Structure 1
Amino acid sequence: MADGALTPEQILDTAEDVLRRFGLQKTTVVDVARALGVSHGSIYRHFPSKTALREAVASRWLARVSEPLGEIAAETGPALPRLRRWLERLIRIKRGKVLDDPELFAVYHALADEADAVVQEHVGKLVDQISRMLSDGMVTGEVRFSDPRAMAWAVLRTTMVFHHPAHVGHWSLPEADVDRAFDDIFDLITRGLTPAEA
């Protein structure tokens, strides 16, 4: 490949392949360059350091999680059904990544541990999306709290066992058990967010 034709997306695609093959600890910028047939200097023209490349890979991976969720958050209609669909989609995405490609998921989990700023930005996007739905629910009277951001954090923390990589061991339980547990948690969330009946 000619160095001039190299794009950041090509580098990131190749970096993912190399990370999948060699793992996080054994992958170097030289490995990525070799797989692309370019010098490692060509990589550094797009990513100034190994850390920057790793952060870009982590950021892209996390965007694959947050972008489809953003579509649900941006919809119109009742807030709580949207929130449920949003959470179910988050769980499905994370569970799918673990079950479909556990080696790559382990690499991304390790990458995320190293890329704290990238992870914090990602979590901020998720909180913003939940907050948007709860704000919509406040406008319609569906949600009773006046601080949607605080409640968004509470919802995200309450459901962590279903989507945070630290709880990946629970994800191998039978899907029916996970679904039943989620139903119970979402029922609790709904009861906590909605106005009390007169």
Structure 2
Amino acid sequence: MTDGSDTKAQTAARPVRDRLMDAAEECLRTKGIRATTVSEVAELAGVSRGWLYRHFPDKAALLGAAIVRLNDAYWGEAHAVLAEIDNLPAQIAEGIRLGRSAYDSPGALVMKLRLDEPEEFAACAGAGVQGLIPDLTAFWERYLAAARDRGEIAVEDLPQATEWVARTLLSLATVPGEHVDVDDRAALLKFLDRYVMPALRA
């Protein structure tokens, strides 16, 4: 058996639902939500459209399931990375790096889809993952709480401070600026130490 046929056999052995979501993720990565079709996903997964509809009633349900899986993968991946870092500025810098790795990180793809196709994303994602700021706020709260316990920051209203950090991080990760190169880790840490951390220590 050739390597190609080995790969095909391994793919065929996976549950159909997983193959469909794998194919949906690949289409989302290369085409986005609007341009992805059910026929393309079915063909890529190696099943008929009729078989796809046995698992997902429509395109929104299919892509929504893929988006939820991407979202879950991102939060797990990001927590594993940030748990190894013991100070808040470095954690925020790493969070920005993860958010900017558009093709390597599942969460970066979710963020890109949310920003590029917000209406389509909302229609597919469902109420559970529509709110990017609430998701980011919930994600970062444990890190701000730990920083407060270490004495790095002093905030009275932790949820409000965490939302501010989430909004700041989203802006730095997605909106280009003229005075800080967020891909330069040293420059980014200097920026965070100068402007973000003093606000959290006040």
Give the TM-score normalised by the residue count of structure 1: 0.69
Which position in structure 1 is the counterpart of 2:94?
89
Q: What's the counterpart of residue 148 of structure 1?
A: 158
1:180 maps to which of 181, 184, 187:
187
Matched, 1:108 2:119: no
Secondary structure at 1:159 match in 2:
helix
3-state SS of paired residue (2:102) = helix
Structure 2 distance, partners of 1:113, 1:119, is 10
- Per the alignment, residue 119 of structure 1 pairs with 130
Alpha-carbon deviation of 1:142? 3.4
How big is each residue's C-alpha offset from its partner over 1:95-120, in whole Å with a ceiling of 9 and x where there is no partner? 221699xxx78973545552233231
**CA-to-aligned-CA distance 1:108-166 (integer Å, 9 cap, x gap):** 3545552233231x5434212321122223334432212211101111112333223xx
2:71 touches 2:110 (CA, 8 Å); kept in 1?
Answer: no
Corresponding residue of 2:43: 34
SS of equivalent residue, structure 1 residue 25: helix
Residue 61 (structure 1) aligns with: 70
Aligned to 1:131: 141
How high is the sequence identity, in percent, across the aligned residues?
25
Change (3 A) 1:190 1:32: same
Q: Counterpart of 1:51 in structure 2: which amino acid?
A: A
3-state secondary structure, aligned to 1:132: helix
8 A Cα contact 2:32 2:113, kept in partner: no
CA distance in 1 between partners of 2:82 and 2:139 (Å): 5
Q: Is the 8 A contact 1:65 1:90 kept in 2?
A: no
Contact 1:73 1:130 in 2 (8 A): no
Structure 2: unaligned runs, 5 residues or longer: 1-8
**Which residues in structure 2 correspond to 1:39-54 (within 5 Å)?**
39-54=48-63
- 2:3 aligns to what? none
**Post-superposition shift, 1:37?**
2.7
Instruction: For 1:22 and 1:75, locate their aligned partners in 2 and report how far apart those are by CA, in whole Å.
Output: 34
* Kept in 2: contact 1:55–1:111 (CA 8 A): no
Output the CA distance in 1 between the equivalents of 2:98 and 2:135: 16
User: Which deviates more, 56-65 or 148-157?
Assistant: 56-65
The question of whether the paired residues in 2 share the 8 Å contact of 1:94 and 1:163 is answered with yes
Amino acid at match of 1:119: Q
Distance 1:135 1:105, change over 3 A: closer
